Amino acid sequence: MNEVKTLRQILAITMTEFRFGLRRGGTVVIPLVIGLLIGAGILWDGTSNLGENKADLIQFLQDSARIEQWKEKGLTVDFYRQISAGETANELVSSNLMGWPILLLSTFLLLPAATATSLPADRAFGIAELLHSMPMSAASYLAGKVLGVAVTVVLVGLIPLGLFFGVLEWIFLDAFQLRVPADLVGFFIKFTLLDVLPILAWGLTIGILAGSVFHTRRAAVLPGLIAGILSIFFWQVAFSALSLPFGQFD
C-alpha cells in the first residue's frame, strides 16, 4: 500500500514538474539546441559526398548502353539507385563519429546548467514549502523532479529527431527517388535509445543534484555548468574511453 502511495506521489510531482518545465524555458530550449546541433553535424558530414553520388546516378541514367548491359545481366535501374543510396547511407552511419563529440559537449555543457535551476525554482516560488508540508519523503520528491525533467527533455527532443528524419527522407527522395533505407532508420533509432538517452539522463540528473543545495536559480547555474564539465571526465572513466574520448561510441 505504501509503495502505491509513493508511486502516486512521484507521478504527481513528475506531472507538476513537466508543466512548470514547459514554462521555464531552459528544459525546452536546450534539448532543441542539442538535437539540432547533433542532427546538423551528422547531416553535414554524412552528405559531404552526396553530390558525387547523385552525379554518378545521373550519369548512369543518361548512359543507355550501360543500362542495356545491366539489363542483360538481370539488373535494373532501381538496383543501381539502391546501390547509390546505400553508399550515402553508409556515409551517414560513419558520420556519427562527427555527431558523437557534439552530443557529449553540448549535453554536458548546456543541459546540467539548465536543469540545475529546477529545485531552486521551487524554493523561489514557494512550491518547495508546499510539497515539504505533505507526507512525502525527500527521495520521492527528488525522483519526481528527475522524472519530470526527463519527460520534458525527451518529449521536446522528439522535435529535432523528427526534423532529422524528415530531412533524411527529403535527401533520399531528391537524390535517388527512394525512401530512407529501413536499416538507416533503425540505426539512428538505436543510437538515440542506447547513446543519446543515457547521456541526456546523466546530464539532467547531474544538473538537478548540483543545484539542489542552492536557493536561487542564478546561483545554481554556474555549479550546474561546472558539474556538467566534470561529468565529461566521469563519463570517460565509467566507460573506459580515456584513450579516444570523442572518436568512439560507448
Could you report the per-residue pLDDT of 6-56, keeping only the tens digit for each?
788 788 788 878 887 777 777 889 999 999 999 999 999 888 888 887 777
Q: Output 215 or 15, whichever has higher pLDDT.
A: 15
Residue 215 is given by DSSP the state: S
Closest C-alpha among 196, 15, 217, 25 to residue 108: 196
Q: d(Cα 84, Cα 78) in Å, to the nearest integer?
A: 10
Q: What is the pLDDT of residue 240?
A: 63
Average pLDDT over residues 78-94: 85
Q: Is the pLDDT of residue 145 over 80?
A: yes
Of the pLDDT bands very low, low, confident and very high (cuts 50, 70, 90), residue 249 is very low
Q: What is the pLDDT of residue 161?
A: 95
What amino acid is encoded at 206 in this protein? I
Q: Is the pLDDT of residue 230 over 80?
A: yes
Q: What percent of the chain has pLDDT over 70?
A: 87
Which grid coordinates belong to 239? 566507460
Residue 51 vs residues 47, 79, 85, 165, 173: alpha-carbon distances, Å: 8, 19, 12, 20, 14
Q: In whole angstroms, what separates CA 87 from the centre of its chain?
A: 25
Q: Which residues of 216-250 are buried (b: 16+ CB within 10 A; e: fewer)?
A: ebeebbebbbebbeebbeebbeeeebeeeeeeeee
Say if CB 159 and CB 29 are below 8 A apart. no
